[in-house]
Amino acid sequence: MEKKRVLVVGGSGYLGQHLLEDLLRAEEPFDLAFTYHRTAPADEMMKALSPALAFRVDLVTGQGFDSISDSFGQPNVVINCAALSIPRECEKNPAYAMSVNVPSSLVGWLLSFADKNTFLIHLSTDQVYEGVMSFYKESDETDPVNMYGKTKVASEQFIRANFPNFAILRSSIIYGPESVTPVSKSLPLQWIDSTLSRGHEVEFFYNEFRCPIYVKDVVNIILILIKKWVTDEKPLQLILNIGGPERVSRLQMAEKVADVRSHDRSLIKSVSSSSVDRGVNSPADISMDISRLTLELGVIPVSFEEGIRLTFRPTDVRV
């Protein structure tokens, strides 16, 4: 049987690297390729992710997609991990954020093939929700409070209106061990651990709630979706909340890291989110109901405490 071709858009990012690493070890082998934007992947990354092919692509203009067509061919599965995901940056440059986060050039390229059966898995965010209640369901209204959330709502609407075969994953905070090569964006648990280990006092919000999800759970969800589509080869039109099983405040996240890593809890100071001007509105409670995830795919993500333990396992142990 011919191997399926899988393209990871934004494969040089944190989730992308974890995803490629596990796709390389999948029981059913794939032909793999990934895109990057500015900086060419380091030799270390290319060696670790070999034989995956790397392509430079500009998601705004679509420049680079033709090279993929010529060298790799039409992908059977595309996983779009690429986004301008820093809310403050989206607020500063909304037009650019919209042009990056709404995958118009990607979808246009996929629709240029005669075969329209490519399966598109698109990473969205919990920030599509307004944040005024707990445990949002996929059917609840999307009413984001910042530009990042608005670009992601627009991306979902664009895909639903223009592409026939997709899964949209509304992800909470993704955490876990370092990727093959470090990314520039700081990782949440590593930052908490590093700050507390130096004995520095640090403030955390007691009134901002999320459902953080372990990175390998996200990877597992995507692998299950790919297997489901490869087995059935029937178009999907699916939207799923993907978060961890617990609703935790940022304060509770820090306290749990302190407990697992044996740091001094007294260094953690509880403050209200209203006490800090971050230059962008942030939703208060975008915890998510993930019952549909379990029902549709049979996935039960690990607890936050277990995810912390897995994150800080010895580096010679691969999760």
pLDDT at 268: 98
pLDDT at 39: 81
pLDDT at 55: 97
The DSSP-derived string for 68-97 is HHHHT-S-SEEEE------HHHHHH-HHHH
Name the CA radius of gyration of the chain, rounded: 19
pLDDT at 317: 37
Q: What is the mean pLDDT of the chain?
A: 95
pLDDT at 316: 38
Do 30 and 56 contact (CB within 8 A), yes or no?
no
- Tokens 């909304």, residue? 94
- Check whether 19 has a pLDDT greater than 70: yes
Q: For helices 188-197 and 304-311, what crossing angle results, to 10°? A: 70
- pLDDT digit string (tens) for 72-127? 999 999 999 999 999 999 999 999 999 999 999 999 999 999 988 899 999 999 99
pLDDT at 285: 98
Average pLDDT, stretch 135-162? 98
Position 315 confidence tier, pLDDT thresholds 50, 70, 90: low
- Check whether 318 has a pLDDT greater than 50: no
Average pLDDT, stretch 189-216? 97
pLDDT at 2: 79
Nearest CA among 101, 117, 129, 167 for reference residue 299: 167
Average pLDDT, stretch 7-28? 94
- pLDDT digit string (tens) for 233-255? 788 999 999 999 999 999 999 99
- Check whether 41 has a pLDDT greater than 90: no
Instruction: Output 116 or 57, whichever has higher pLDDT.
Output: 57
- Check whether 150 has a pLDDT greater than 90: yes
Compute CA 140 distance to the chain's CA centroid, rounded to the nearest angstrom: 21
Give me the phi and psi of 193, to 5 degrees please: -60, -45
How large is the greatest C-alpha to C-alpha distance in the chain, in angstroms? 62
* Phi and psi based region of residue 203 (left: phi greater than 0; alpha: psi -120 to 50; beta: remaining): beta
> Domains, the chain, ranges and CATH?
4-179+211-245+287-302 (3.40.50.720)
Percent of the chain with pLDDT over 70: 98
pLDDT at 234: 86
pLDDT at 319: 34
